[in-house]
């Protein structure tokens, strides 16, 4: 059975990679012709996103990188930027 969610209920959910790393927080959905095209993910302190891209406020994540949406959002690890060692 297919479960549906209201877009308002997805806003504010935590985003994790399929490797278990906290990635950020869903800020909003970006729609195109009545479908979700991508997601705006906000970087927070101690998130993988803020460590990989210091100074970035967030990223636009294409919908095809989303693996699951439930109590949290799971994304493909391939969607995460590569963290460089300094």
What are the structural domains, with CATH classification, of the chain?
7-79 (2.30.30.240)
82/36 Cα distance (integer angstroms): 25
Amino acid 38: pLDDT: 95
Residue 84 confidence (pLDDT) above 70? no
Residue 64: the pLDDT is 93
pLDDT grade, residue 78 (50/70/90)? confident
Tell me: pLDDT of 86 over 90.
no
Single pTM value for the model? 0.86
**Residue 1: per-residue pLDDT:** 73
Range list of β-strands (E), the chain: 14-17, 22-32, 35-42, 58-62, 66-69, 73-75
User: Is pLDDT above 90 for 14?
Assistant: yes
**What's the pLDDT tens digit per position in 60-73?**
999 999 999 999 99
């Amino acid at each position: 059975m297919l479960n549906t969610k209201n877009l308002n209920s997805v806003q504010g959910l935590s985003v994790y990679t399929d490797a278990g790393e906290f990635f950020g927080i869903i800020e909003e959905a970006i729609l195109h012709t009545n479908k979700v095209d991508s997601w705006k993910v906000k970087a927070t302190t101690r998130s993988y996103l803020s460590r990989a891209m210091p100074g970035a406020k967030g990223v636009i994540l294409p919908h095809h990188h989303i693996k699951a949406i439930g109590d949290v959002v799971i994304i493909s690890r391939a969607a995460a930027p590569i963290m460089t060692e300094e």
